[in-house]
């Protein structure tokens, strides 16, 4: 049985992606001496649900369920800006740019999480914190390196980078290769302009 790694995500417009690329390039220059794996600009996206392994059988069911769920949500916009890190800026392991999360985005993520659970995919245990990952600090980074990275991040200001209008959701395949992850879009389904407003 063939199995792929997959995730569900929102893509970004070219203007926002270009500004994210500029922010990432600036950070890479400032942090070039530190063990950080940077995400290529073309791979930056807003993940709604990481599925992990998906079988061919589940893939067919998944696309049908995803289309049904996404079709109950109407298009919306969100803003992109501010620099952050997980678990926090003092102990950065994942470097990201934040998302202004409107009710529509939260409702869409919640609906997708509930829908994929019907196929046996685990529900998210942590509150959804929408973000765009720029880089990941190596687990081999020393305490001194992590403190330096933290200081540089806290000294870096990232303002508003633009708005994204969400009209569709994508299912991606992820292939891990020596040069990094390669994402292939497998399925796209539109939001529904006639859907009722989202409830917080």
Q: Hey, which residues are catalytic here?
A: 45, 131
Q: How far is CA 162 from CA 2, 78, 121, 130, 156, in A?
A: 40, 9, 33, 15, 18
> Residue 159 CB: number of other CB atoms within 10 A?
9
Backbone torsions φ then ψ of 182, nearest 5 degrees: -120, 125
Coil, strand or helix at 64: helix
Structure tokens, 153 = 């991040």
| Alpha carbon distance 65, 121 (integer Å) | 13
Backbone torsions φ then ψ of 18, nearest 5 degrees: -65, -45
Describe the crossing of helices 56-70 and 103-117 by its angle, rounded to 10 degrees: 150
Q: How far is CA 100 from CA 26, 59, 104, 105, in A?
A: 22, 31, 11, 9
């Amino acid at each position: 049985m063939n199995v792929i790694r997959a995730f569900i995500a929102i893509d970004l417009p070219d203007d926002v992606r270009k500004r994210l690329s500029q922010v990432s390039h600036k950070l890479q220059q400032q942090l070039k001496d530190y063990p950080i794996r940077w995400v290529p600009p073309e791979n930056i996206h807003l993940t709604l649900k990481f599925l992990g392994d998906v079988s061919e059988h589940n893939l067919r069911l998944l696309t049908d369920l995803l289309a049904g769920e996404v079709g109950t949500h109407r298009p919306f916009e969100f803003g992109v800006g501010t620099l952050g890190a997980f678990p926090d800026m003092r102990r950065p392991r994942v470097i990201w740019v934040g998302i202004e999360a409107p009710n529509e985005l939260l409702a869409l993520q919640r609906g997708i999480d509930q829908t994929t659970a019907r196929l046996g995919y685990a529900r998210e245990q942590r509150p959804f914190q929408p973000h765009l990952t720029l880089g990941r600090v190596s687990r081999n980074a020393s305490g001194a390196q992590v403190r330096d990275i933290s200081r540089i991040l806290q000294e870096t200001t990232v303002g508003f980078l633009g708005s994204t209008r969400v009209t569709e959701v994508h299912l991606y395949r992820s292939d891990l290769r020596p040069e990094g992850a390669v994402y292939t879009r497998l399925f796209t389904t539109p939001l529904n302009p006639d859907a009722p407003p989202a409830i917080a």
